[in-house]
Amino acid sequence: MRIRPKRLQPGDTIGIIAPSSPPNQESLERSLTFLEQLGLKWKFGKHINNTRGYLAGTDDERLQDLEDMFADPSIAGIICAGGGYGSARYTDRLDLQLIRENPKIFWGFSDITFLHTAMGLYSDIVTFHGPMLASCVGKDTFHDLSAKMFMQLFEPMELHYTEEISPLISISGGVTHGEIVGGNLSLLVNSMGTKFEVDTKGKLLFIEDVGEEPYRVDGMLNQLRMAGKFSDAAGIIIGDFSETELKKTRESLTLDDVFEDYFRNIGKPVVKGFKIGHCEPHFAIPLGVKAKLDGDEKTLTILPGVE
């Protein structure tokens, strides 16, 4: 059982970092009002405003901000400002023992998937796949349900996802239990062949992505299939796949066709349609906790992520 971080209390201080690409500063500023409404204070990483091309500062600077926030006893949790690209560039230098010895809430998604996987494998902590400050919270499109999902950080609560939230489709039926792992499909594929390769054995594999055409999703799923990630898994949770339109007019399978090809005869529960990913609302989930996926009733039940 992974280490669950302590719950937040009103008055706690949140560390805000940019582990990947530079966040939109205006959107980041707007998001602070939401943190105030939650009763939280905040502290920015030293390099939150830095830019180096498509990166939020140098690898050393982003690595330092991340480690500093885990090492700082005054910081109760860490919320990423945004994703983009770049967290994998320094993950192999990340002090994962430091994180294990100082477990605290770590919240983000998209490019942050690489860090989630590393912390799950080597720090043995529960982390959170949820909407980030500049890329989600500070925007006009931020949904009420997305906002409510932050309450799981203040009180241990079981999460229940049913079709009351969004229409769900069962590609393969059955009921299974397992620890949730995964995140952004592109980042999971990028981890293959490294020490940070996702471990799906007996687990519920969650996938989502944005801006990938059906043939690209097909290729990534095929790589995971041939690596045994689907045969090892207890079940598959398919989150939001947005902006999948074809860049050029040509013959194509639909994304639904692709998922059917890979999962209809897999012999274990596979359900798609979860609003988890680059979408609003964004249903935030803890990674590394036990969950139940019911492919017959089309429900997902997740145990609490905090102590």
Unique residue bearing structure tokens 């560390």: 15
Q: How confident is the model at residue 8 (pLDDT cuts 50, 70, 90)?
A: very high
Nearest partner of 302 among 286, 280, 279, judged by Cα = 286
Kindly report, as residue ranges, where domains of CATH 3.50.30.60 are found in the chain: 159-302
DSSP category for residue 93: G
Amino acid sitting at position 138: G
Please check whether the domain covering 13-153 is classified as CATH 3.40.50.2000: no
Instruction: Give yes or no for a cis peptide into 281 (omega within 30° of 0).
Output: yes
Kindly report, as residue ranges, where domains of CATH 3.40.50.10740 are found in the chain: 13-153
Nearest-angstrom CA–CA distance, 272 and 180: 15
Write the CB contacts of 250 (distance below 8 Å, at least 6 apart in sequence): none
pTM, to two decimals: 0.97
Q: How confident is the model at residue 29 (pLDDT cuts 50, 70, 90)?
A: very high
| 290-299 pLDDT, tens digit each | 999 999 999 9
Please say if the pLDDT value at position 98 is more than 80: yes
Please check whether the domain covering 159-302 is classified as CATH 3.50.30.60: yes
Task: Please report the pLDDT score of residue 248 as a whole number.
Answer: 72
Per-residue pLDDT, averaged over 56-66, amounts to 98
Task: Please report the pLDDT score of residue 221 as a whole number.
Answer: 98
- Helix segments in 152-298, DSSP class H: 185-190, 214-226, 229-232, 255-263
Task: Please report the pLDDT score of residue 249 as a whole number.
Answer: 66
The rounded percent of the chain whose pLDDT value lies above 90 is 96
Please say if the pLDDT value at position 118 is more than 90: yes
Unique residue bearing structure tokens 């594999």: 205
Pairing of strands 299-302, 290-294: antiparallel
Task: Please report the pLDDT score of residue 191 as a whole number.
Answer: 97
Nearest partner of 129 among 116, 142, 138, judged by Cα = 116
- The CA-based dihedral angle spanning residues 170, 175, 176, 182, taken in that order and rounded to the nearest 10 degrees: 10
DSSP category for residue 8: P
Q: How many Å is the Cα radius of gyration of the chain?
A: 18
| 126-181 pLDDT, tens digit each | 999 999 999 999 999 999 999 999 999 999 999 999 999 999 999 999 999 999 99
Task: Please report the pLDDT score of residue 250 as a whole number.
Answer: 77
| 223-279 pLDDT, tens digit each | 999 999 999 999 999 999 998 777 776 789 999 999 999 999 999 999 999 999 999
Active-site amino acid positions = 110, 208, 278
Q: Is 34 helix (H, G, I), strand (E, B) or coil?
A: helix
Nearest-angstrom CA–CA distance, 268 and 245: 29
Pairing of strands 105-108, 75-80: parallel
Phi, psi angle pair for 222, to nearest 5°: -65, -35
DSSP 105-170: EEEE-GGGHHHHHHIIIII-B-EEE---IIIIITSTT--HHHHHGGGGGTS---EEE-TTTS--EE
Q: With contact defined as beta carbons under 8 Å apart, do 156 and 306 qualify?
A: yes
Task: Please report the pLDDT score of residue 246 as a whole number.
Answer: 74
Nearest-angstrom CA–CA distance, 274 and 105: 23
Amino acid sitting at position 50: N
| 191-234 pLDDT, tens digit each | 999 999 999 999 999 999 999 999 999 999 999 999 999 999 99
Q: Is 45 helix (H, G, I), strand (E, B) or coil?
A: coil
Q: How confident is the model at residue 18 (pLDDT cuts 50, 70, 90)?
A: very high
DSSP category for residue 92: G
